[in-house]
Amino acid sequence: METYSDKIKDNSEKLLDNYLAPEQQSEIGEKLNHLSTEMGTVIKSIITRTEELGKYFNNLESKLLEDNSISEIISCYKTYLDTLSIHELCILINILICIFILTCLISILFAFYGNYLIDKLSLEKK
């Protein structure tokens, strides 16, 4: 299978053969070979560096998730939920839904009471 670098070399050799004198061809050919080897070493160093960075970020992510107290609480809660039966899960969901509805009702009541106080004390006019 032909790679891109092989295609580039073939195309550059065709161009050299068609348009340049033999002395110039050898000189430019040497420069192209030198540049291609330099590019190969640069690409290899880039690949190794990106692999090192990938390993570093994977380790950082795992440490970030493992050492976090919130993630520990979540994992403990998950293990607790795994131990519950279906009936107990339904009761827990029912309690959480009731708490959610109560907080919504309380926020609506505060909004109406605040509007009542604004009208009663005529705060918009002051």
pLDDT one-digit tens code per residue, 77-125: 999 999 989 999 999 999 999 999 999 999 999 999 999 998 888 887 7
| Alpha carbon distance, N-terminus to C-terminus of the chain | 83
Please state, in angstroms and rounded to a whole number, the distance separating the CA atoms of residues 5 and 3. 5
Please state, in angstroms and rounded to a whole number, the distance separating the CA atoms of residues 5 and 43. 12
Residue 90 has what pLDDT?
94
pTM: 0.43
Contacts (Cβ under 8 Å, ≥6 apart) of 32: 9, 12
Residue 40 has what pLDDT?
74
How sure is the predictor about 49, in pLDDT bands with cuts at 50, 70 and 90?
Answer: confident
Q: Where are the domains of the chain?
A: 1-83, 85-126
Residue 110 has what pLDDT?
97
Burial state string for 114-126 with b = 16 or more CB within 10 A and e = fewer than 16? eeeeeeeeeeeee
How sure is the predictor about 55, in pLDDT bands with cuts at 50, 70 and 90?
Answer: confident
Residue 96 has what pLDDT?
95
